[in-house]
Chain A
């Protein structure tokens, strides 16, 4: 009886563990490849759609602007509001600008291939771009673009694995180029201040991660490539 009980218990435990074992097996390579392929196809399709939608929005913006310009020619009241509207567009980043400033380059460093170092400190993260942009605003930046994407009022950097997303899921890849218009000396002083971007500069020393900047007398930044929708916030009064 004791032997029978032992065998029953053993069978139960072995079956249970075998079942768990079966469930935790990685997908066979063929399934894994098919799943990866499907995911990547989805990304490609959505990015194609994203590009087409952005082009459509830009086309419509041009049509609206043409309609507004024509309206301004017909009415002095419209002309007055149109001038104010153009000022607001300028502030919102909906207008391309040029002027003196800096070009800042950031790129990944060397992978230490150290199992004890899981920090991924050798790569540029979205927070690094966020920190640089924040510092530039503090240094009096008048307009900023990252890899050709204008940083607007609602721009937010976002994690996407080896890429960084900004402005309606525009996928950015390193090396990252930040173009900033403003007083080049003030902006460079801010970047050079050892108290600023301390963590990024420390990784620059440890992992040879790239962080450099260059002054220019003439740089240009493109317009923000989408429109703004406000659905919840209403003016007070």
Chain B
């Protein structure tokens, strides 16, 4: 059996230990929180994310330019071969003509891609952001609710409607995008994640889509050839 003085000593020891633990924990907790804030501040100041995004974009752009260079080299060789043989290769020129008509949205096209269904009202800038992301991811043809969208197609909001080149489109919106589904997918998911707080968005990968709508090019009235 312990004497009262021994008991008091044991209690005092426990109190000291508990106090020390509390002090140590408190100190570490404060330092922990402060250092996490410092890490966040230093990262923000350095903006490594922006540099990393830039490196990613440059890599992607350079790969595309390498592919463009290879295609042009082939095209040039084809033209030269025909010229050397004393003729002219109409097919090489025809091929480029068809490609540019696709780029300009003047021919119906088909291919793999995404079907994005949006239920709810979205604003013009939200659609623009989505189109921007999809173009960055290599979208080759885009249509929304029966209207083809090319680079010069204006997207505007009017009351609860979206206007595509002046034509009103209403929910549900069906955005068809032709391109590499592997590249387009993350871009669509990024747009969907910001839209999904307000509207329902479904992104479906498709092996075959058809965009039958076309645009009529505007005639140039003010702009003239040359620098």
Which A residues contact B (CB, under 8 angstroms)? 2-3, 6-7, 9-10, 13-14, 17-18, 20-21, 24-26, 32, 35-36, 39-40, 42-43, 46-47, 49-50, 53-54, 56-57, 60-61, 63-64, 67-68, 70-72, 74-75, 77-78, 81-82, 84-85, 88-92, 94-101, 126-127, 130-131, 134-135, 137-138, 140-143, 151-163, 165, 168-169, 171, 181-183, 220-222, 226-237
The reply to whether the CB of B205 lies closer than 8 angstroms to some CB of chain A is no
Give A183 to B17 CA distance when docked, in angstroms: 82
Near A by CB (< 8 A), chain B positions 183-227 give 210-212, 217-218, 220-227
Q: How large is the interface on B (under 10, 10 to 19, 20 to 34, 35 or more residues)?
A: 35 or more
By beta carbon, the residue of chain B nearest A227 is B68
Given A75-B87, A137-B154, A142-B221: A160 in contact with B54 (beta carbons within 8 A): yes
The reply to whether A24 and B72 form a contact with Cβ atoms under 8 Å apart is no
- Among candidates A81, A230, A233, residue contacting B93 with C-beta atoms closer than 8 Å: A81
Which B residues contact A (CB, under 8 angstroms)? 10, 13-14, 17-18, 20-21, 24-25, 28-29, 31-32, 35-36, 38-39, 42, 46-55, 57-62, 64-69, 71-73, 75-76, 79-80, 82-83, 87-90, 93-94, 96-113, 124-125, 128-129, 131-133, 135-136, 139-141, 150-156, 178-180, 210-212, 217-218, 220-227
The reply to whether B99 and A230 form a contact with Cβ atoms under 8 Å apart is yes
Q: Which residues of A contact B46 (CB under 8 A)?
A: 32, 36
Give A53 to B131 CA distance when docked, in angstroms: 26
The reply to whether A153 and B223 form a contact with Cβ atoms under 8 Å apart is no
Q: Which residues of B contact A7 (CB under 8 A)?
A: 17
